A = this chain, B = another copy of it.
Amino acid sequence: MSALQTSPVEEEREKILSLYARTRSRTEELASPLSAEDQQLQSMPDTSPVKWHRAHTTWFFEAFVLEPEGVAPFDPRYAFLFNSYYEAAGPRHARPKRGLLSRPGAREVGDYRRAVDERVSRLVAGADAARLARVLPILELGVAHEEQHQELILTDLLHAFSQNPLLPPYVGPAAVEVNGDGDPASPPRFIGYEGGLHEVGAPEGIFAFDNERPRHKVWVEPFKLADRLVTVSDLIAFVRDGGYRTPSLWLSEGFDFVRAQGIEAPLYASFDGGVVTTFTLQGSRQLPASAPVVHLSYYEADAIARYMGARLPTEVEWEVAAARAPVAGNFLDDGRLHPVARPRSQPSGVSQLFGDAWEWTSSSYDPYPGYFPPEGALGEYNGKFMVSQKVLRGGSCLSPRRHVRASYRNFWYPATRFQMTGLRLARNV
């Protein structure tokens, strides 16, 4: 072995440092079009200010990488402010009050980020093999964590901007093209999948969240999946037929929800004589009929599927289909920031499994057989949320491409509408 050869340890060190740097930069790029005031907005308890996301992801590296290795915190008061929900990591600021923190300001949060980045780089650069073995998995987790918050930065900002009567855009409308060349008139075609004993869940040897494991056997009946996401055109038919006011299409809880909230369209959308106008990160826009419909609650997704003579897929059915497909589609990296229509030029077969819109599945977010959360504070990452939520699959136009995989389980409450949530139809054979 010559001195020019890089050892495997060095390769890993380089790889993680590069990944860390790229991820951290992208967060700052996402925040860069925003004023300090924009970054402070918190428009409901479910969302957080952009500035808070920037600080919280930084605290994550401080608390779980630097602190266990003996590095003193940048500011001892920040743990209280920027811990999200880790009970084992100590007390924390009330979530609905994150928008009331004018101090530290956006600029100070930038200082915090740079200081932690420098400490992490120094730590990794100088780590011996033992330390590297300890910190690498946490760094990898921290990067995946920050990728999740990159999506949240945009969904939370979209909600905040939607509350401003001036309806400010995050990026100019000319910047992106959402129309595609899809054919709204054609109904979805259904692709058949074989039943039998399948295996689902993340295989060993790759990074995955704990909730994707253990990989396990599941018996699946034969099923069919639509070849595309449900579109604005499908939504218009549902609305025109009085779908939002027809109780027989709805789960009881769902019908109560839309009645109590006065919901008659997806979040951010309004109807005017067959034209759908939606508030997006490019401001208020008319969407083509072929665009995937998003900002639906589980209840709406379930009702639309029922209206279309179909149902939502289970998460297992979705994974069986997706396991064979490449992770390709419209992601954050593409910069469109909104789902686009399936291209006409698309070869026949299932499409849009990845990117565009998170797909509601009919599966409740339960632990996989044999699941136990890791020890310590990081055991709180996923396990303690396994109740009352529904699984979504496939990533969205706001997810980093690197972040998504066939076994990836996203989860939200059925009433959630501010995420980039859509649906795909399924049927029994």
Contact of A218 with B216 at beta-carbon distance under 8 Å, contacts A386-B251, A388-B253 already known: no
Contact in complex: B367, A388 (CB < 8 Å): no
Contact in complex: B217, A384 (CB < 8 Å): no
Q: Report the bound CA distance from A367 to B361 in whole Å.
A: 12
Residues of B within 8 A of A220 (CB): 369
Q: Who on chain B is nearest to A364 by CB?
A: B364
> When the two chains form the complex, which single residue of B87, B102, B255, B362 contacts A35, counting CB atoms closer than 8 Å?
B102
Q: Is residue A298 contacting chain B, with contact meaning CB distance below 8 A? A: yes
> When the two chains form the complex, which single residue of B85, B165, B367, B384 contacts A77, counting CB atoms closer than 8 Å?
B165
Q: Is residue A260 contacting chain B, with contact meaning CB distance below 8 A? A: no
Contact in complex: A102, B40 (CB < 8 Å): yes
Residues of B within 8 A of A168 (CB): 102-103
Q: Is residue A247 contacting chain B, with contact meaning CB distance below 8 A? A: yes
Contact in complex: A105, B35 (CB < 8 Å): yes
Q: Is residue A248 contacting chain B, with contact meaning CB distance below 8 A? A: yes
Residues of B within 8 A of A165 (CB): 77, 80-81, 93
Q: Report the bound CA distance from A72 to B414 in whole Å.
A: 41
Q: Report the bound CA distance from A106 to B165 in whole Å.
A: 17
Q: Report the bound CA distance from A367 to B100 in whole Å.
A: 38
Q: Is residue A181 contacting chain B, with contact meaning CB distance below 8 A? A: no
Contact in complex: B164, A102 (CB < 8 Å): yes
Contact in complex: A37, B105 (CB < 8 Å): yes
Q: Report the bound CA distance from A391 to B126 in whole Å.
A: 53
B-contacting residues, A196-237, CB 8 Å: 197, 216-221
> When the two chains form the complex, which single residue of B36, B106, B219, B390 contacts A217, counting CB atoms closer than 8 Å?
B219
Q: Who on chain B is nearest to A107 by CB?
A: B35
B-contacting residues, A378-422, CB 8 Å: 379-380, 384-388, 390, 414
Contact in complex: B102, A99 (CB < 8 Å): no
Q: Smallest CB–CB gap between A193 and chain B, Å?
A: 13
B-contacting residues, A241-293, CB 8 Å: 247-248, 250-255
Q: Is residue A166 contacting chain B, with contact meaning CB distance below 8 A? A: yes
Contact in complex: B103, A251 (CB < 8 Å): no
> When the two chains form the complex, which single residue of B87, B99, B252, B298 contacts A384, counting CB atoms closer than 8 Å?
B252
A-B pairs, top 9 by smallest CB distance, nearest first, are A364-B364, A87-B247, A37-B102, A252-B384, A38-B102, A100-B163, A219-B219, A217-B219, A221-B369
Sample (30) of A-B pairs whose CB atoms are under 8 Å apart = A35-B36, A35-B103, A37-B105, A40-B102, A41-B100, A41-B102, A43-B100, A77-B165, A77-B166, A80-B165, A87-B248, A99-B99, A100-B160, A100-B163, A102-B164, A103-B164, A197-B219, A220-B369, A221-B369, A250-B384, A251-B384, A252-B385, A254-B387, A298-B387, A299-B387, A302-B387, A362-B366, A362-B367, A363-B366, A369-B428
